[in-house]
Amino acid sequence: MSVEKPKIVFVLGGPGAGKGTQCSRIVDRFQFTHLSAGDLLREERSREGSEFGNLIEDYIRNGKIVPVEVTCSLLENAMKASGKSRFLIDGFPRNQDNLDGWNRQMSEKVDFQFVFFFDCGEDVCVKRCLGRGQSGSGRTDDNLDSLKKRISTYNNDSLPIIKFFEGAGQVKRIDASPDAEEVFGEVEKIFVASGF
Ligand SMILES: Nc1ncnc2c1ncn2[C@@H]1O[C@H](COP(=O)(O)OP(=O)(O)OP(=O)(O)O)[C@@H](O)[C@H]1O
Ligand SMILES: Nc1ccn([C@@H]2O[C@H](COP(=O)(O)O)[C@@H](O)[C@H]2O)c(=O)n1
């Protein structure tokens, strides 16, 4: 008996591009489960007795990418615990270490579909994150100091990964600068055209 592998869509883009916002809309409209690597890391940071709490907080505050052994295990555990079969993996893979770790641990176990790339200018991203901080996100990285580091990590480490997938013809790019409603209109078209 062959068991179908879970379908995976990676969701990438700059900090504050609107990945989480669009993922929750996709979940409402299509049968996907949203797993945000950042959310899973923040949960693990706050979990009592976590051996990684301090390390994760240091990485998050400084906009650095946590070693993949931690993040990939959190993702795999969350996938298993959900019992679901379609996942939006938001904010991962963010650098070469993430991608290599995923390929070692997960790629054989899943049915990778494509990368959703929410493309958004730096100024808009920063403005959205600062706005989110002012609205009480409680995030320790929605401040200008952390944002400079997050943007630098995005440009140096994450964009090359998006370019790698682009070279393989696996990226669906969306202009993420319009309002959330308009962006979702484009997202919907891509999901429908992809058979979801
Ligand atoms: N298209 C949009 N237009 C204006 N504001 C938006 C748009 N999409 C999201 N926002 C707002 O911008 C902020 C960041 O959005 P969101 O959390 O979805 O981004 P993200 O890409 O998941 O960020 P991060 O990578 O930092 O977790 C939120 O306050 C959200 O309400
Ligand atoms: N693959 C990842 C994803 C996230 N992080 C860390 O979490 C921070 C916040 O991520 P968001 O996606 O919620 O913005 C990010 O700046 C990293 O420090 C990570 O290490 N690896």
This model's pTM is above 0.95: yes
CB 126 within 8 A of CB 147: yes
DSSP state for residue 43 in the 8-state scheme: H
- What CATH number should be reported for the domain holding residue 29? 3.40.50.300
Atom of ligand 2 nearest to the CA of 60: 18
Does any ligand 1 atom lie closer than 6 A to the CB of residue 132? yes
pLDDT tens for each residue of 80-118: 999 999 999 999 999 999 999 999 999 999 999 999 999
Q: How many domains does the chain have?
A: 1
Atom of ligand 2 nearest to the CA of 150: 16
CB 158 within 8 A of CB 164: no
Q: Which domain holds residue 42?
A: 7-193
| Residue 164 counted as domain residue | yes
Q: How far is residue 163's CA from residue 145's CA, in Å, rounded to a whole number? A: 27
Is it the case that residue 152 has pLDDT exceeding 80? yes
| Residue 107 counted as domain residue | yes
Ligand 2-lining residues (CB < 6 angstroms): 15, 36-38, 41, 59-60, 63-66, 71, 91-92, 94, 98, 141, 150
| Residue 61 counted as domain residue | yes
| Residue 2 counted as domain residue | no
Q: How far is residue 53's CA from residue 166's CA, in Å, rounded to a whole number? A: 34
Q: What is the mean pLDDT of residues 186-190?
A: 98
| 116 token code pair | 């959703």
* Check: complex ipTM more than 0.95: yes
| Residue 1 counted as domain residue | no
- Nearest Cα residue to 123 out of 182, 177, 187: 177
